[in-house]
């Protein structure tokens, strides 16, 4: 997605050889117009898939996921990372280990919002090692729902998550794939 790549080039900050800071439009301050375009792009790519639900994980997956839900006219469910006072129903849970943060979170979704009739699109802001996506896939499996694909705003192509999922036959659509952040420069994978 050209617009997204332009914004990444203009506003992204290379923090290290493997971390890109995008706080000014995605991870802290949110650019609603860009989110709208992202929603349209994903809706266009997945419009034939019969999606009934968008599933993401708090917090930064929520803004793009909502815009896709709006475009497709379907609800958006986000997995919680922390125990919630009101989340007391039967839960679907999975463990997600973050290599970046070196911590493991148990993520959860109420059984009320995901079931065997659902055709699910998983959305997240970043794809690095793919642990968050795998956790969401585990929750979809527990719900006996169907995974139709994974939509990612920014994939780090130099980390293994995306390619491993593709090798397993999962449809992964990333709007921008970063090939390298070396030498303080952002390089995209040719599509």
Q: Is 180 in the site for ligand G4P (CB under 6 A)?
A: no
Q: What is the C-alpha to C-alpha distance for residues 126 and 27, in angstroms, rounded to an integer?
A: 10
Instruction: Report the Cα 48 to chain-centroid distance in Å.
Output: 20
Q: Is 129 in the site for ligand G4P (CB under 6 A)?
A: yes
Among residues 63, 130, 151, 157, the one that binds ligand G4P under rule CB under 6 A: 130
Nearest alpha carbon to residue 1 among 168, 176, 187, 154: 176
Sketch the per residue contact string, 159 through 178, with ligand G4P: x for CB under 6 A, - otherwise.
--x-----------------
Which of positions 40-79 make contact with ligand G4P (CB under 6 A)?
59-61
Spatial neighbors of 70 by CB under 8 A, at least 6 apart, are 39
Q: Which residue has the tokens 């999606």?
A: 51
Q: Which is nearer to ligand G4P, 52 or 181 (CB)?
A: 181
- Which window, 35-43, 107-115, 121-129, 137-145, contacts ligand G4P (CB under 6 A)? 121-129
- Which window, 41-49, 99-107, 111-119, 137-145, contacts ligand G4P (CB under 6 A)? 99-107
Q: Is 184 in the site for ligand G4P (CB under 6 A)?
A: no
Q: What is the C-alpha to C-alpha distance for residues 29 and 92, in angstroms, rounded to an integer?
A: 31
Nearest alpha carbon to residue 181 among 161, 162, 157, 164: 157
Give the interface with ligand G4P as residue ranges (CB under 6 A). Answer: 19-22, 27, 59-61, 98-101, 125-132, 156, 161
């Amino acid at each position: 997605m050209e617009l997204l790549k332009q914004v990444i080039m203009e506003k992204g900050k290379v923090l290290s050889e493997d971390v890109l800071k995008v706080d000014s439009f995605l991870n802290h301050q949110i650019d609603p117009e860009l989110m709208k375009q992202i929603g349209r792009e994903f809706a266009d790519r997945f419009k034939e898939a019969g999606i009934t639900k968008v599933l993401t994980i708090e917090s930064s997956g929520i803004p793009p996921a909502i815009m896709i839900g709006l475009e497709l006219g379907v609800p958006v469910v986000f997995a919680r990372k922390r125990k919630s006072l009101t989340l007391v129903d039967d839960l679907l849970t999975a463990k997600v280990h973050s290599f970046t943060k070196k911590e493991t979170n148990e993520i959860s979704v109420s059984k009320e919002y995901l079931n065997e009739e659902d055709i699910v699109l998983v959305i997240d802001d970043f794809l690095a090692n793919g642990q968050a996506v795998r956790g969401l896939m585990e929750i979809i499996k527990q719900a006996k729902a169907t995974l139709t694909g994974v939509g990612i705003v920014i994939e780090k192509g130099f980390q293994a998550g995306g390619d491993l999922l593709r090798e397993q036959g999962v449809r992964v659509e990333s709007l921008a794939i970063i090939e390298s952040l070396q030498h303080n420069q952002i390089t995209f994978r040719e599509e």
